[in-house]
Amino acid sequence: MQNLTAPALAEWLADKSRAAPVLLDVREPWEVTTAHIAGSVSIPMREIPARSEELEDDAQIVCVCHHGARSAQVAMFLESRGYQHVFNLQGGIDAWSRQVDASVPTY
């Protein structure tokens, strides 16, 4: 698992010459409703073991949560299941809100 800063993710998403990653939001539904990155796929952390097959094996996956702890755990789990291109959004949606897109609410 690699950590990815919010500004680095913003650069990646803006680079149209590079394939966009799967933004895997592992927070609870109420959290995703409160604040999210456009285009994110929502699978709550507790559902990941049963639903990880929904993710492409060769996908580049950026795991997102509130501050980065839950997403780091999910990223490690996905790596243990054979996913090779897994990133953790360091600081989570909070860092995204504060460093990249102030229109995304903090909570």
User: Which CA distances in Å does 88 have to 13, 29, 74, 103?
Assistant: 15, 19, 9, 22
List the pLDDT tens digit at each of the 107 positions of the chain: 999 999 999 999 999 999 999 999 999 999 999 999 999 999 999 999 999 999 999 999 999 999 999 999 999 999 999 999 999 999 999 999 999 999 999 99
Residue 61 is inside which H or E element, if any? strand 61-64
Set 22, 26, 65, 93: catalytic member: 65
63 classed as catalytic: no
Residues 6+ apart with CB under 8 A from 77: 48, 49, 52
pLDDT value, residue 46 = 98
In whole angstroms, give the CA distance from residue 87 to residue 90: 9
Domains of the chain in start order, with CATH, are: 2-99 (3.40.250.10)
In whole angstroms, give the CA distance from residue 70 to residue 63: 9
